[in-house]
Amino acid sequence: MKQEPVVLIRPTRDADVDAMLAIYRRHIHRGVEEGVDDSDTPQPDDLRERRKNLKSRRFPHIVATRDGEVVGYAYVVLFRKRPAYRYTVKHSIYVHHQHIGQGIGSRLMRGLIDACAAAGFRQMIGYIDADNTASLKLHARFDFVRVGLLPGVAYRYGRWADSVMVQRSLGPGSTAPPPPPPLSTR
């Protein structure tokens, strides 16, 4: 009986950058027509610098590897730059297209949640293409709740696409307080 290779979740390294960029580029270019300016796509040195900055500021930046090959990665950035938001992060997870449906996203999500909680973050926010049912289900399994819908914010596959905003608390005391009472009409 052949044993499946073990998937390892670990912090990223400079040597992972090219594989991470290949995964990222495939995801962001899917559904976008030829000739659209992609000058914002990070280059290897950009990603190396971003990695270094995120890690020095305690922001998790992790990869999933199988037999030494990078098969996915995940990271967080500040949700907003103002100081009041310093405990809330926005996350991204990317899985190599040949490894989707093999539990890589779940392992990355678990690793990212654990790392964010250990770093003292209180809330995680994510934006998901509304047609990406696999990602929506993954987030639901990890107790993310839908908190918003951004209609028609992306143009892919020749049509306007919606984004779903999801949120997850990371520990005791991090539950969002009830909304304030309505403003007086007097």
Place of tokens 């962001």: 28
pLDDT, tens only, 117-134:
999 999 999 999 999 999
pLDDT, tens only, 19-64:
988 898 887 766 655 655 565 666 666 666 676 666 656 789 999 9
Residues 6+ apart with CB under 8 A from 7: 64, 65, 66, 71, 103, 104, 107
DSSP label of 175: S
pTM: predicted TM-score of the whole model, two decimal places: 0.82
CA 58 vs CA 16, 66, 74: distances in Å: 19, 25, 14
Question: b vs e for 163-172, b when ≥16 Cβ sit within 10 Å of the residue's Cβ?
Answer: bbbbbbbbee
Instruction: Give the span between the Cα atoms of 34 and 24, in whole angstroms.
Output: 17
